[in-house]
Amino acid sequence: GRGQPSGDTIAALASGAGQAGVAVIRISGPAVPEIVTDLIGRLPRPRYAVLAAFFDDQEQAIDKGLVLYFPAPASFTGEHVAELHGHGSPILVDLLLQRLVALGARLAGPGEFSQRAFLNDKLSLDQAEAIADAIAAKSAVTARAAVRAVEGAFADEIEALVAELTALRVYTEAAIDFPDEEDVNFLGDGQILGRLDAIATDLAALRRAAGQGAGFRDGLRVVIVGRPNVGKSSLLNRLARRDSAIVTDIAGTTRDVLTEQLSIDGLPLTLIDTAGLRDTLDPVEAEGVRRARAEIDTADRVLLVIDDTAGLTRDDQALIDEFANLASGSGLTLIANKSDLSGQCPGACEIGGLPGVRVSAHSGEGFEALGQHLKHLAGLDDQAEPVFVARRRHLTALDAAARHLVDARQVLTVDAAGDLVAEELRLAQNALGEITGRVTSDDLLGEIFSSFCIGK
């Protein structure tokens, strides 16, 4: 195991809360056999579903349902685990959880089951994260990619790279121990350099895949701004209609701001329409600008809509000046709308020195190019689905590993210092180890697992 398995037994609702046909309560820990025996009067055969009554301390049935018992270590957490499938009533679930606590379990905190699975080597850290990502996925593409990561699509690639790095370290250290003996110059014979470059190439490919995975996981947060009547609402409606999969209204942070969640070819997109600000979104009106600015500060991109029949007006230019380079990462894309009226050719274009897309929210022309543009902004140029989901923390670690490989190349080719090469390889290995959890701090673990929901 990776850490101290905690000695207690935890219980939580594993299925969704609220009324449902079935609710699944999961218990994990050393006391599971005893608790299950006390609850239903016997211990079921491992991995077979049995129908049983769940008794309270008066031997009255709280509920009746299926019970599954998974003895350690062949379980999700690696500990003894049981699942109780009862009726999906919040009241019954509560009574059952109370009963389990009376029998010696404790209510689980967020992510505790996954954390135990990680500590017992059942999952790598990125796999545990991918479970949370699969549950929270905002598009089918993201959900599929998360499931592939749970299955190890990312962890396996990392482990393969770590194995290559380890082998090269061993070779380099041998070269240090036998320098220039019998006409052989290990450090200078090109072997190490060739293998170093091969690893760097593999790492770069993995970084690209992870970047896509992160793009699909996080999606893009886009704010739509523009003068009144340029077609902001129409644009939003067209985008929302284009994708039939997911369109939900979620309450905006500001009363006047409408937020929509949708996806373009699987890329989750959060669109923030400042249409509610239309009467106040005058460049000289401070309050409207202040609210729009608050949204823009958290956005990845600002789409500034202009009326293509009017071209770039002075008011548009004032908005560009107001919103350009507001937030650190976000930039402006100009959307020249109403191309059906202007007669200009729809598609990607440049407007006033800024990247733009000419569209018609009425006819839908140009929206293919707009979708491409948004995917480009998310770093997802090729159409392909991500191989797995990834998080920003993973990208940071991959970038750190890549930098150490560059450093390793430098100390090898310039300084011919074998010990420094070995050290850079070790640092690169550590960086990769942070992704799978081979190398982690308790702080990081606490941060990651506490962001999970209870019962996971």
Q: Is 291 annotated to bind ligand?
A: no
Spatial contact of 301 and 272, defined as CB atoms under 8 Å apart: no
Nearest CB to ligand GDP, comparing residues 27 and 336: 336
CA distance 303 to 98: 52
Which residue of the chain is nearest ligand GDP when measured via CB? 231
DSSP-assigned letters across all residues of 380-416: --S-PPPSS---HHHHHHHHHHHHHHHHHHHHHHTS-
Torsion, CA 363, CA 365, CA 371, CA 376, rounded to 10: -150
Closest contact distance (angstroms) between CB of 294 and ligand GDP is 19
Nearest CB to Zn ion, comparing residues 221 and 404: 404
Q: At what angle do helices 153-177 and 418-436 cross, to 10 degrees?
A: 160
Which position among 18, 179, 228, 311 is part of the footprint of ligand GDP (CB under 6 A)?
A: 228
Nearest CB to ligand GDP, comparing residues 217 and 358: 358
Binding segment toward ligand GDP, per CB under 6 A, in 42-50, 98-106, 337-345, 385-393: 337-345
Asked if 230 touches ligand GDP (CB under 6 A), the answer is yes
Q: Integer distance in angstroms from the first to the last C-alpha of the chain?
A: 19
- Under DSSP, the state recorded for 152 is T
Nearest CB to Zn ion, comparing residues 114 and 429: 429
Asked if 404 touches Zn ion (CB under 5 A), the answer is yes
DSSP-assigned letters across all residues of 107-128: E--BTHHHHHHHHTTSS-HHHH
According to CB under 6 A, which residues from 271 to 290 bind ligand GDP? 275, 278
Nearest CB to Zn ion, comparing residues 140 and 416: 416
Using CB distances below 5 to 8 A depending on partner kind, what does residue 230 bind out of ligand GDP, Zn ion, none? ligand GDP
Asked if 231 touches ligand GDP (CB under 6 A), the answer is yes
According to CB under 6 A, which residues from 369 to 398 bind ligand GDP? none
Q: Is 120 annotated to bind ligand?
A: no
Which position among 114, 142, 337, 429 is part of the footprint of ligand GDP (CB under 6 A)?
A: 337
CA distance 389 to 398: 14
Q: Is 266 annotated to bind ligand?
A: no
62-68 long-range Cβ contacts below 8 angstroms, 24+ apart: 62/92, 62/95, 62/96, 62/99, 63/87, 63/92, 63/95, 63/96, 65/22, 67/36, 67/40, 68/44
Asked if 407 touches Zn ion (CB under 5 A), the answer is yes
Asked if 423 touches Zn ion (CB under 5 A), the answer is no
The contact set with ligand GDP (CB under 6 A) reads 226, 228-234, 275, 278, 337-338, 340-341, 360-362
